[in-house]
Amino acid sequence: MSAFITYKNTPIHYTESGKGTAIVLLHGFLENTTMWESLEKVLNSKFRVVCIDLLGHGQTESLGYVHTMTEMAEAVKAVLDALNIRRSFFVGHSMGGYVALAFADLYPDNVKGLVLLNSTARPDSEEKKIGRDRAIAVVKENHKSFIRTSIPMLFRSKCRKIYADEIAKVKKEALKTSRQGIIAALEGMKIRLDREVLLHFGPYPSLMILGKKDPVLNYEDLIAQTKDANTEVVELENGHMSLIEDREGAEQAILEFVKRN
């Protein structure tokens, strides 16, 4: 089922399938609910799966010029409230992980378990913030060119040819993202908070799934976050798009985590 709720006079799009314990899937930057099609089929025979288009992405419109991770989390809460869902597992890919962490920070009692997929609990470094500003300048000039250049760079170099068809599909969906939606997300990611403490002391189980050859996130930095933390780690072989580059391993890790908890 595909539907909308209204949050602050803005339509928020979501899909829902299956019955049982709820699992909320939150996509990454330049993505939308379509990225979850394969995983949704794996999960919805035993669980209630809710996929949400985050602010400025997919069929959800922009709310302003900066979409903070907290604002995105509040929009997610509005969807779950409308569906009468109190406690859920959250799976967040990249930016979706930042939103899931913001939600967990705001509403720890509503979180049954947390999965960070190719994501980090740490904030942007100063260098990364400068990179965000450069990206914003490029997007203002030509956001479609920015998208076409950015998507392949999420994949491990050797995977770019192997998954050429999948990359073309991701690119096609990403090109639906408006200039305002892209800039608002970049601004929001740039100012997001450090939530590493949640990996250590969150009152729910958590799992980090990472790619050893992720061109976006540093492997050693991710491992350091989980040292002595109350967080399981699953290491996959490839890049930032584990649901494509290591689909079976990523899907299996998520399914086992939610079954176990």
**What residue has token string 């394969």?**
38
Kindly report the pTM of this predicted structure.
Answer: 0.98
d(CA 226, CA 237) in angstroms, rounded, equals: 18
CATH pick for 2-260 out of 3.20.19.10, 3.40.50.1820, 3.30.70.980, 3.30.300.30: 3.40.50.1820
- pLDDT at residue number 186: 98
Per residue in 16-63, pLDDT tens?
999 999 999 999 999 999 999 999 999 999 999 999 999 999 999 999
Sheet of 231-236, strands arranged across: 2-7, 10-17, 48-52, 22-26, 88-93, 111-117, 206-211, 231-236
Q: What is the mean pLDDT of residues 126-138?
A: 98
**What residue has token string 């994949």?**
155
For residue 256, which of 204, 198, 205 has the smallest C-alpha distance? 205
- pLDDT at residue number 67: 98
**What residue has token string 């010029």?**
65
Burial class (CB in 10 A: 0-12, 13-18, 19+), 37: exposed
- DSSP letter at 154? G
Mapping DSSP to helix (H, G, I), strand (E, B) and coil, where does residue 28 land? Answer: coil
- pLDDT at residue number 117: 98
- DSSP letter at 60? P
Percent of the chain with pLDDT over 90: 100
What are the CA-CA distances from residue 63 to residues 15, 147, 203 (Å)? 20, 21, 31
d(CA 114, CA 30) in angstroms, rounded, equals: 22
Q: How confident is the model at residue 15 (pLDDT cuts 50, 70, 90)?
A: very high
For residue 102, which of 73, 127, 78, 77 has the smallest C-alpha distance? 73
- pLDDT at residue number 167: 98
Q: What is the mean pLDDT of residues 122-145?
A: 98
d(CA 228, CA 33) in angstroms, rounded, equals: 33
Q: How confident is the model at residue 253 (pLDDT cuts 50, 70, 90)?
A: very high
- pLDDT at residue number 127: 97
Residue ranges per structural domain of the chain: 2-260
The C-alpha angle 129, 219, 195, rounded to 5 degrees, equals 55
Q: What is the mean pLDDT of residues 136-150?
A: 98
Would residue 118 be called left, alpha or beta, if left means φ above 0 and alpha means ψ between -120 and 50 degrees? left
Q: What is the mean pLDDT of residues 234-250?
A: 98
Dump the DSSP string for 165-198: HHHHHHHHHHTTS-HHHHHHHHHHHHTPPP-THH
Per residue in 72-126, pLDDT tens?
999 999 999 999 999 999 999 999 999 999 999 999 999 999 999 999 999 999 9
Per residue in 54-69, pLDDT tens?
999 999 999 999 999 9
Q: Which residues contact 260 (CB under 8 A, 6 or more apart)?
A: none
